[in-house]
Amino acid sequence: MEVPRSSRGAPTMIDSESAYRRIKNYIRKTPVIKYNDHFFKLENLQKSGSFKPRGAYNKILKNLNKINGVVCASSGNHAQAVAKVCSDLGIKNVKIIIPERTPQIKVNKIRNYGYEPIFYGSHLNESLNYARELSEKEKLLFVHPYDDLDIIEGQSTIGIEIENYNFDYLFIPVGGGGLASGISLYIKRKKPNVKIYGVVSKNAPSFYYSFKENRIMEVEPRETIADGIKLKYPSDLTFRILKETLEDIIMIEEEEIEYAIKWAYYNLGLILEGAGAISLSILIFNKLKIRGNGMFILSGSNIDESVLDYIIKD
């Protein structure tokens, strides 16, 4: 599954501006706050608690008049987003597949939108395989969390909202890579000198090792506080894009992610889940010498109250 940079360039067939016009009345334009010389993009304040509705709205709205129903698989945030979008658009036939150990807060939010999730698999890749089977069997629109240009196009609209800020570095959490692919494609087109880094958990390092080895690597993930970016292997699509657009991928320890959650709570007054806080670890623990201004994507807030309580009181 090798995909060398020299022979296979990243696809660029997305239209971020059209996507933004399509979804802007459905999403929230989240704020950017300044902290010393750096900027934090608060996608934790997006509808459903993460950046995910951007891609979900874009995919479903583009196919709204030709679908029999919708199926998705997710570690939680994408599932919530799809549930919200389908609820808003009045789609009844919806199958939402989530891993067996999905945090309860994410399960509850899916149910609050009127859909009962189907638990399948120990990690996201197993859930995705089952969702694909259902899509083919029942002729449903498969809304993939990251391996889809329509999803990547929707996530790229974050780039439109940050492009006018003065930053030299951009840090983005990486799980499947849809968020990082979308933002990086847009920012590299508009601000080509910005250095973009992906950030992963040491307990879910498949994208890190794939990037280093220049081929897709399967790495069994361990339990991680950053459950939103826990997967076994990346997709060919997002791997190719990020090999072209990222400077590097930085790996973060579990203890550092937990501290970043705590730091954001006490220093910024923000509630962040593990994946939402992980990019802050770069700044807090000096993982990279930043010569200039950094932009940090804080991607989500869906953390169980009991977990948050344990972390902030520890």
In a domain, 33, yes or no: yes
In a domain, 4, yes or no: no
Q: Is the pLDDT reported for residue 3 higher than 60?
A: no
Q: What is the CATH number of the domain that holds 276?
A: 3.40.50.1100
When pLDDT is averaged across residues 56-61 and rounded to a whole number, the result is: 98
Does residue 158 contact residue 51 with C-beta atoms inside 8 Å?
Answer: yes
Cα distance between residue 284 and residue 270, in whole Å: 15
**Residue 155 and residue 130 share a domain:** no
**Residue 83 and residue 27 share a domain:** no
**Residue 241 and residue 271 share a domain:** yes
Question: What does residue 91 show for φ and ψ, rounded to 5 degrees?
Answer: -85, 125
Does residue 277 contact residue 257 with C-beta atoms inside 8 Å?
Answer: yes
Domain edge (last residue) among 143, 171, 204: 143
Helix/strand/coil for 229? helix
Phi-psi region of 62 (alpha: psi -120 to 50; beta: other; left: phi over 0): alpha
**Residue 92 and residue 33 share a domain:** no
The predicted-structure confidence for 166-179, as pLDDT tens digits, reads as follows 999 999 999 999 99
pLDDT band at residue 11 using 50, 70 and 90 as cut-offs: low
Cα distance between residue 210 and residue 243, in whole Å: 9
Domain edge (last residue) among 143, 172, 202: 143
**Residue 118 and residue 250 share a domain:** no
Count CA atoms within 13 Å of residue 118 on its CB side: 14
**Residue 305 and residue 226 share a domain:** yes
Domain edge (last residue) among 112, 143, 174: 143
The predicted-structure confidence for 19-36, as pLDDT tens digits, reads as follows 999 999 999 999 999 999
Among all chains, which residue has been given the structure tokens 């919806």? Answer: 94
Question: What does residue 2 show for φ and ψ, rounded to 5 degrees?
Answer: -65, 140
The predicted-structure confidence for 77-130, as pLDDT tens digits, reads as follows 999 999 999 999 999 999 999 999 888 888 998 999 999 999 999 888 899 999
How many domains would you assign to the chain? Answer: 2
Residue range(s) defining the domain that contains residue 75 = 53-143
**Residue 171 and residue 80 share a domain:** no
**Residue 119 and residue 203 share a domain:** no
